[in-house]
Amino acid sequence: MTRTICLIIFMAVFMFPGLTFSQKDTLTIVIDENGKVVEISDEGKALKFENGEVIDPGNRKGMSYQRILNKIYEIGKTIVVELQITVPTTTYAYVFDVSKEPLTLQSIPVFIGQSPVRDISIMTFEIKDKKKRIKLGEKTLSQAGVRYKIIITRYDSEEDRLRKKMDKSAVIFEQGFETYARYYLGMNVGVLFPSNASTNYGLLYNDPDETKPIITGDENYEIRMLIYGSIYPWGYEPEKPISRNGLNRLHFDLGTELSTNIFKKIYVGIGYNFSRHFSLSLFACLGNVGQLKEGFKKDDPVNPEMGSAPLKYEFRPTFGIAVSLPFDIAKNWLGGVLGIK
């Protein structure tokens, strides 16, 4: 029993990284009185800077702090900004300002009246001790698909701050932090390859002199176009590599055919996004399937007054595998092929 439990935990951690639990993740940025970055500490590793570039040995030597910080962050990352006092001076007033705005995640943004949210903390203190570090503020990146911006503004005094308010000329440090976009809903267009052949029945005269047609039945694997909506129960983050969000790429689907049978047949399935441009789904088609009525079989002659093959329709599920593209990509690709802008 114990071995079984250990095996389940092992599979959850290594096969489905989305299930792993992590402690508080903190990125600390240390600046001097003029806003120049002197150190960045992340995941227990510290990088020293001089004139905005890494001075530590290694493959990051010479890199700018912007290049190191300009990446996409996990939700829950905490950004801490500290002040490194290098030269004791007079009293300064510092403003730690955080703004955030939603990223444009859709091809057609929908305005619902949001305004940028500001989180401002003001600190006034007298610098006396050289080499002392003072925490100016911190912000936890708590929302998906958001661009946070941290701005540090310095004034010579509290009176100067009140007089100038948010004077951009007093900004000494400004940096943006973006979090991974996370989706819980999606729409896809796909091509379904059925697992079994379907039979199309009809009537045919083998000879012009015949008075009665015979029943024909052609079996074929009819490829179908589908459009369907998807639900990502654990939230899909397409910018993350598959090794870091394996379970999050799983989705449950509901759709219909892009044909004369639209809305007459319902498709339900489960799928997996192998990339942001490609997914596979296993579908069950729920709908009526035409079969010959009792007493009739293929090649039987029938009364010509029938006009069509004697069919009865029975509810029977069929199955297939769909290769799909996200709706926007499929729309743009088809528009390019057909010359539609």
Q: Is residue 53 part of a domain?
A: yes
Last-in-domain residue among 181, 208, 228: 181
Last-in-domain residue among 181, 213, 245: 181
| Same domain? 119 vs 199 | no
Q: Is residue 7 part of a domain?
A: no
- Alpha-carbon dihedral of residues 58, 64, 70, 75, nearest 10 degrees? 60
| Same domain? 85 vs 209 | no
Q: Is residue 227 part of a domain?
A: yes
| Same domain? 284 vs 325 | yes
Domain count of the fold of the chain = 2
CA distance 319 to 17: 30
CA distance 87 to 52: 18
| Same domain? 36 vs 114 | yes
| Same domain? 155 vs 92 | yes
Cross-strand partners of 271: 251, 281
Residue matched to tokens 């007093």: 170
| Same domain? 176 vs 191 | no
- Let me know: does 161 contact 95? Beta carbons within 8 Å: yes
Q: Is residue 174 part of a domain?
A: yes
Q: Is residue 3 part of a domain?
A: no
Q: Is residue 219 part of a domain?
A: yes
Contacts for 108 with CB less than 8 Å, ≥ 6 apart: none
Q: Is residue 71 part of a domain?
A: yes
Domain of residue 135: give its range: 17-181
| Same domain? 175 vs 43 | yes
Q: Count other Cβ atoms within 10 Å, centred on residue 89.
A: 12
Write down how long the chain is. 341
Q: Is residue 40 part of a domain?
A: yes
| Same domain? 43 vs 110 | yes
| Same domain? 301 vs 327 | yes
pLDDT 10s per residue in the chain (341 long)? 444 444 444 444 333 443 333 456 899 999 988 889 989 998 878 888 887 788 866 666 678 888 889 889 988 999 999 988 876 665 677 888 888 887 765 544 444 445 556 676 666 655 555 557 888 889 999 988 889 999 998 887 666 766 666 566 688 899 999 998 888 888 889 999 988 776 676 666 666 666 677 666 677 778 888 999 999 998 888 888 888 878 889 999 999 988 877 877 889 999 999 988 889 999 998 877 766 667 676 666 766 767 667 676 777 788 999 999 888 777 776 655 445 45
| Same domain? 167 vs 198 | no
What pLDDT does 79 receive? 93
Last-in-domain residue among 181, 200, 219: 181
Residue matched to tokens 């120049």: 36
CA distance 265 to 175: 52
